[in-house]
């Protein structure tokens, strides 16, 4: 097993495997309570989610694009009971309200959602766990509010997807056009499917990233059942329109420079590579300098390794949360 800490690699297979097994066994012995559904009021409706182990150290858990809080359903039961997992559905996903019509998608809007949740619970400090889009949002939030975030865990994401400054005007125009086209379709009849066909549709859409079991977990919050017994996907159609106004890599680096937390990235070997390797390397170098502690860990699996193979991810999360710097 290769562990990369602060930019340096160490072969630590025997020690880490033993510790991970101990943490996982402890988690199973302690057990995790069944989650409670929550709804957090916001000006346009509510943010839905669920909490495992209320009263423990809060771990705000954020899902990826087009997923929902069910993405943590397999990991949460493996974590110790003194970790309170608060998993939310971002607007337009799962059981949360859709964004108001007429407002285009901007990635940094996710930071507002995170802040609303933190204020709702009255947390002075918080740990963040995020997969893909949720992990990128967690890093940016930690850079914007460094005094509030103690630890960040990013699953299969190294940095947000950047928009080169020279591409932004055309990207904005394209995204506005897409938004208006999609808005014109809202309100029409939803496409409906037999449940098995909907599962197949999700599996095809995700490529080889999720298993059939994982697809069914996501569909618990990601689909609606009609009176005729058929199902439709449940998401805000505008989610598939482009980002109205993105961030440049230079802007993202300024957020990373402000990190004052401990940071761990868990990268799946079979996960996607969105940008140039040199940009990833540069961002990891910044994390190494700005974060109080930086761990980069590679594990075998797909982009949804946390959902497909939670036994691989849960011990890493628990060890990192309980580690003392």
The Cα diameter of the chain in Å comes to: 58
CATH code assigned at 86: 3.40.50.1820
185 pLDDT tier (thresholds 50, 70, 90): confident
Place of tokens 């009176």: 227
State how beta strands 45-52 and 83-88 pair: antiparallel
Domain shared by 202 and 277, yes or no: no
Q: What percent of the chain lies above the pLDDT cut of 70?
A: 89
Domain shared by 156 and 305, yes or no: yes
pLDDT recorded at residue 187:
75
Domain shared by 156 and 257, yes or no: yes
Domain shared by 295 and 225, yes or no: no
306/58 Cα distance (integer angstroms): 19
Domain shared by 192 and 260, yes or no: no
- pLDDT (tens digit, 9 = 90+) per residue, 19-29? 444 444 444 43
59 pLDDT tier (thresholds 50, 70, 90): very high
Output Rg (C-alpha) for the chain, integer angstroms.
19
Kindly report the pTM of this predicted structure. 0.89
SS3 call for 44? coil
Domain shared by 71 and 128, yes or no: yes
Mean pLDDT, rounded, of the chain? 90
Q: Region 131-136: what's the mean pLDDT?
A: 98
Domain shared by 115 and 206, yes or no: no
State how beta strands 57-62 and 45-52 pair: unpaired
Q: Region 35-42: what's the mean pLDDT?
A: 97
Domain shared by 172 and 307, yes or no: no
Domain shared by 119 and 235, yes or no: no
Domain shared by 154 and 186, yes or no: no
60/51 Cα distance (integer angstroms): 9
Domain span at residue 259 reads: 2-166+244-322
Q: Is 132 a catalytic residue?
A: yes
Count of domains in the chain?
A: 2
Q: Which of 5-14, 98-107, 171-180 has the lowest mean pLDDT?
A: 5-14
- pLDDT (tens digit, 9 = 90+) per residue, 83-92? 999 999 999 9
- pLDDT (tens digit, 9 = 90+) per residue, 229-263? 999 999 999 998 988 999 999 999 999 999 999 99
Q: Give yes or no for residue 82 having a pLDDT over 70.
A: yes
Q: Which of 132, 175, 209, 223 is catalytic?
A: 132
State how beta strands 293-299 and 262-268 pair: parallel
Nearest to 76 by CA among 120, 32, 112, 43: 32
Domain shared by 231 and 249, yes or no: no
263/296 Cα distance (integer angstroms): 9
Domain shared by 177 and 216, yes or no: yes
């Amino acid at each position: 097993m290769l562990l990369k800490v602060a930019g340096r690699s160490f072969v630590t297979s025997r020690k880490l495997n033993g510790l991970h097994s101990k943490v996982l066994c402890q988690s199973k012995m302690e057990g995790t309570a069944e989650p409670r559904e929550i709804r957090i009021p916001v000006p346009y409706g509510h943010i839905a989610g669920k909490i495992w182990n209320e009263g423990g150290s809060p771990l705000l858990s954020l899902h990826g694009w087009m997923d929902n809080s069910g993405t943590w359903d397999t990991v949460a039961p493996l974590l110790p009971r003194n970790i309170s997992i608060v998993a939310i559905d971002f607007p337009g996903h799962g059981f949360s309200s859709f964004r108001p019509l007429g407002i285009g998608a901007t990635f940094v809007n996710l930071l507002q959602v995170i802040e609303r949740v933190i204020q709702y619970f009255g947390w002075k400090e918080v740990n963040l766990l995020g997969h893909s889009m949720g992990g990128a949002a967690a890093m940016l939030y930690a850079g914007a509010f460094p005094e509030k975030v103690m630890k960040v865990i990013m699953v299969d994401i190294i940095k947000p997807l950047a928009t080169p400054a020279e591409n932004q005007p055309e990207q904005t125009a394209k995204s506005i056009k897409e938004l208006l086209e999609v808005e014109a379709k809202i309100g029409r009849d939803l496409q409906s499917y037999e449940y098995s066909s909907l599962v197949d549709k999700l599996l095809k859409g995700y490529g080889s990233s999720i298993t059939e079991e994982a697809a069914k977990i996501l569909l618990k919050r990601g689909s609606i059942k009609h009176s005729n017994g058929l199902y439709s996907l449940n998401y805000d159609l505008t989610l598939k329109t482009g980002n109205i106004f993105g961030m440049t890599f230079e802007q993202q680096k300024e957020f990373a420079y402000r990190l004052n937390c401990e940071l761990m990235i868990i990268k799946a070997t079979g996960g996607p590579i969105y940008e140039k390797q040199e940009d990833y390397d540069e961002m990891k170098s910044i994390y190494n300098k700005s974060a109080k502690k930086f761990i980069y860990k590679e594990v075998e699996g797909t982009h949804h390794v946390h959902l497909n193979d939670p036994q691989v991810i849960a011990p890493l999360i628990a060890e990192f949360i309980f580690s003392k710097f």
